[in-house]
Copies of this chain bind each other. A is one copy, B any other.
Amino acid sequence: MDTESRKVLAGLVGRGCPGSLATLREGGPSVGMVLCAPDGEGAFLIHVSRLAAHTGDLLADPRVALLLVGPAPGGNPQAAPRVSLRGRAAEVPRESPGGQAAARAYLAAFPQAEAMFGFGDFLLFRIVPEEVRFVGGFAKAFDVAPSELKELQESGAAGSAS
């Protein structure tokens, strides 16, 4: 992958942003919007209400897919950089090892979500990618090894701070 594409990918996976979360429901696909934060270890965090249908999906079957889309250059949506990943979601209980660190990582991306952390009906899930595909624009598509995501998240987070 060229340096510019890698930088765009790092920006997508290294910062909190809205994403499309696909889950299984009654054996078929379902898709909804979630806020999605990098955990800095190559995975992604979402914080969802028990009342939401997708939360029930995740608790019943951990298989998920996630799509993150960046801004479209020149207003051409087909040129928008996007990363599409497939993996598994696991609940991160607040009291588990790493539970506090995960909550901090999520709140670093979405400080306005702090009030929701007081509600007992919200759960934090970690999505661990198993397959990652990056489309940097027309005819620029790359498979990315999940093991590269930690470094990409670090580099993307550093980019957003500067």
A22 → B minimal CB distance (Å): 4
| A25 interface hit (Cβ, 8 Å) | yes
| A64 interface hit (Cβ, 8 Å) | yes
Q: Is the CB of B33 within 8 A of A80?
A: yes
- Contact residues in B for A82 (Cβ distance below 8 Å): 32-33
Q: Is the CB of B65 within 8 A of A18?
A: no
Main secondary structure of the interface of A (DSSP, over half): strand
Residue of B nearest to A82 (CB): B33
Interface residues of A in 75-95 (CB under 8 A from B): 76-78, 80, 82, 84, 86
Q: Is the CB of B30 within 8 A of A84?
A: yes
Q: Is the CB of B18 within 8 A of A80?
A: yes
Residue of B nearest to A69 (CB): B33
| A63 interface hit (Cβ, 8 Å) | yes
Q: Is the CB of A18 within 8 A of B69?
A: yes
A62 → B minimal CB distance (Å): 9
| A155 interface hit (Cβ, 8 Å) | no
Q: Is the CB of B77 within 8 A of A35?
A: yes
Binding site for B on A (CB under 8 A): 17-18, 20-25, 27-33, 35, 53, 63-67, 69, 72, 76-78, 80, 82, 84, 86, 112, 133, 135
